[in-house]
Amino acid sequence: MTEAVASPRAAALRPGRAVLIAAVLAVALAVPLGLDPQGYPIRVLTLTLLFAAMGQAWNIVGGLANQISLGHAGFFGIGAYASTILLRDFGLSPWLGMLAGMALAALAAAALAVPTFRLKGHYFALVTLAFGEVMRVIANSWSSVTGGPVGLSVPFAPDSLWMFQFGAARPYYYICLGALVAVTLVFWRIKAGALGYRLRAIKENADAAEVIGVDTFRAKLQAGLISATLTAGLGTVYAQFSYFFDPDTIFGVATISVRMALIAIVGGVGLTFGPIVGAFFIIPVEEFANAALAGRAAGLSAFVYGAVLIAVILLKPEGLLALFAALGKRWRERRR
């Protein structure tokens, strides 16, 4: 794998790869022009880009810092609720609401991290799971502010960039594409930068990293804060795109927390393009399964979901990118 090369910055900037990235971006920019701006395909693509960005944000904590979070829905929901409540009560632009949500999520992440970030592995997964559930219970029971179990609708505002509302799906597509590029750049900067090296040292051997002077707590905290903040921002985007959400969906373990992780895992944990590949596999498959089986078999799509997760872990825990790499290598060898 190129990722194992000593200098990831050099590996990431190889000319062949740069050309490929530029080509993919050009296609991504052009695709909506050929699609019905109100249609179903562009909605699925928008959702895919959004979930790719979410998987990427999870990847900062789960892939780089190796802290398996099962509670990122907590931050995602904070972002969605913060911007929507500020819009509902004060008519504040969701862009500003997004910043408020991000700040709030950073606070929540810090409050959670200070006592628990020393926890590792299973314990960290458990504590984050409980954190997401705490947020869900609060959203369900604090009805006067959150609207309770019924959920919240984003107040209607005319088609405007400032109010983050559009009649068609196309503008959301470009916003989600921009979000994905932004989160991916953050991920890549961390991975190639000093923080990435520290996190990798911690991942390999936390005690050894500590001995050579890495402040393991600080490095993990930084990664955690960045990841939580980005996730909250994406929560606002989701709220504006879907117009409606309720506590059990937005703070859901299966709907958000595990899905974010699954996207990163299916593509390849810790790889820059892992969540993107993962999202383009998972989300369309899910949408297709839901559309094909709509209402006929409740639970089937979630069942398949679990089965895919089990299959990936048992068959190819390194993810689809590694699978592609292996297949590509075999193909080249056969041609020779």
Binding site for another protein (CB under 8 A): 62, 66, 68, 70, 112, 115-116, 119, 121-123, 125-127, 129-131, 133-134, 137-138, 140-141, 254, 258, 261-262, 265, 269, 297-300, 302-303, 305-310, 313-314, 317
Nearest to another protein of 150, 185 (CB atom) = 150
Considering the complex, what minimum distance in angstroms separates the CB of residue 157 from another protein?
32
d(CA 155, CA 158): 10
Considering the complex, what minimum distance in angstroms separates the CB of residue 174 from another protein?
33
Considering the complex, what minimum distance in angstroms separates the CB of residue 64 from another protein?
13
Residue 20 neighbours by CB distance under 10 Å: 12
Nearest to another protein of 32, 147 (CB atom) = 147
Considering the complex, what minimum distance in angstroms separates the CB of residue 239 from another protein?
23
Among the listed residues 26, 30, 46, the one whose alpha carbon sits nearest the alpha carbon of residue 38:
46
Give the strand pairing for 244-245 and 152-153. antiparallel
Among the listed residues 47, 102, 68, the one whose alpha carbon sits nearest the alpha carbon of residue 258:
68
Tally the residues of the chain.
336
Nearest to another protein of 112, 277 (CB atom) = 112
CB environment 150-173: b (16+ within 10 A), e (fewer):
ebbebeeeeeeeebbbbeebbbbb
Nearest to another protein of 241, 305 (CB atom) = 305
DSSP state of 42: H
Helix (H, G, I), strand (E, B) or coil at 152: strand
Distances (CA, A) of 88 to 83, 94, 155, 213, 239: 9, 10, 6, 48, 13
Considering the complex, what minimum distance in angstroms separates the CB of residue 133 from another protein?
5
Nearest to another protein of 242, 301 (CB atom) = 301
Considering the complex, what minimum distance in angstroms separates the CB of residue 147 from another protein?
14
d(CA 269, CA 262): 9
d(CA 296, CA 229): 38
Nearest to another protein of 16, 115 (CB atom) = 115
Nearest to another protein of 81, 173 (CB atom) = 81
| Tokens 């991975």 -> residue | 191
Alpha-carbon dihedral of residues 203, 209, 215, 218, nearest 10 degrees? Answer: 0
Nearest to another protein of 58, 164 (CB atom) = 58
Considering the complex, what minimum distance in angstroms separates the CB of residue 30 from another protein?
36
∠ Cα 176 265 121 (to 5°): 115
Considering the complex, what minimum distance in angstroms separates the CB of residue 127 from another protein?
5
Sign of the Cα pseudo-torsion (321, 68, 199, 187, in order): positive
